[in-house]
Structure 1
């Protein structure tokens, strides 16, 4: 009598690591602006008179959140089930099944639930796009005149490459049950509230 072992289990479904997209130039610029602002504001808080200290405090409350919002905060995260877009003042969570389209014209945009959301973390460079177009045209010209056919992939601007990756992830995950749902939008109150307090404080100080 022969015994049979346990049936082999089906291979686990392949998991894909979450991808994050940010602008290195924005990160570097934001870091420099924060260092400069904290240096100037800190000096005024330490050495200034009472009025100057209050002005510096409110200026920091307004300036620091704005710099963080527009330079350090923006990021796009793409996972198996959803796309998360963190913009200066909002975070938009989009299940892949809810994403209707992704475009990059003058800015990178995602369409979902009948609404359009910009993706601040993926800047569109028209100069880079024109440069890629010229390189592609030169490659096509060389191939027509008998140059090697295998000239590598057609050059593309960074934003266009990123949008193509996101489209592939959407196609891959849109049918997954865990990728269904409605878009969700959350406001970034830790950024908004200090900025509003700083703006109101500066307006009051300037009016006195």
Structure 2
């Protein structure tokens, strides 16, 4: 008997956050580089320390957040922690004002899947028009998970829609329900701090504080 086929992880992340992160890093590098090359006295050291503090923080909140869903587990990469949850340990995944994962009686935020109340409101208005028999309006496009996409995942143009964040949550719930009983989906919840972000930020913060106190 052949083994069951496994698939690559589904990846959820915010394209808008990564664009913002690239712009912030570029601006920071330009300002700090100018201060390091042209500054006098302690200015170059202060600029270098500030960049060492700011760059990891920007990366943590823009490039790092991601959610990876495989057949066996959900791996949540938040700004400063990585949470690995086998599907059997998932209690529920919900999207209210933010997207939350409940597992083993603990609650974790899913930073990579933002909830847009504006997008949800537009989708609700569109679906209400369909229910009342009114003709649908062509919806705008938004930059959400994975890049540019319509505000809805519709089976056909003009059909019922789902906001991108809610659609992602529905997919993750379906994966949890379908794989919770799998042998590979068992195990403990593992939380790991992201020291590769925390360590350089701490060094930069301490260096900046020392320079400022030294006057």
Q: Same fold (TM over 0.5)?
A: yes
The corresponding residue for 2:152 is none
Unaligned runs of 5+ in 1: 1-9, 144-149
- Per the TM alignment, residue 153 of structure 1 is displaced from its structure 2 partner at its CA by 4.2
Residues 97-176 of structure 1 aligned to structure 2 (within 5 Å): 97-142=88-133, 153-176=159-182
> Over aligned residues, Cα RMSD in angstroms?
1.6
- Per the TM alignment, residue 50 of structure 1 is displaced from its structure 2 partner at its CA by 3.4
The corresponding residue for 2:200 is 194
Which has more helix, going by share of residues? 1
CA–CA distance in structure 2, aligned partners of residues 142 and 198 of structure 1: 60
- Flag the structure with larger Rg: 1
1:164-198 deviations in whole A, cap 9, x for unaligned? 00011111111111110110011011100111111
CA–CA distance in structure 1, aligned partners of residues 101 and 33 of structure 2: 40
| 8 Å Cα contact 1:101-1:112 kept in structure 2 | yes
1:106-158 deviations in whole A, cap 9, x for unaligned? 11000111100000000000000000000000010117xxxxxx876421111
Q: Secondary structure at the match of 2:133?
A: helix
Further displaced range: 87-96 or 39-48: 39-48
Q: Secondary structure at the match of 1:50?
A: coil
CA–CA distance in structure 2, aligned partners of residues 172 and 178 of structure 1: 12
Please state if 1:26 is matched with 2:17: yes
CA–CA distance in structure 1, aligned partners of residues 52 and 83 of structure 2: 25
Residues 37-76 of structure 1 aligned to structure 2 (within 5 Å): 37-76=28-67
TM-score normalised over the length of structure 2? 0.86
Unaligned runs of 5+ in 2: 135-155
CA–CA distance in structure 2, aligned partners of residues 37 and 171 of structure 1: 44
TM-score normalised over the length of structure 1? 0.89
CA–CA distance in structure 2, aligned partners of residues 38 and 88 of structure 1: 21
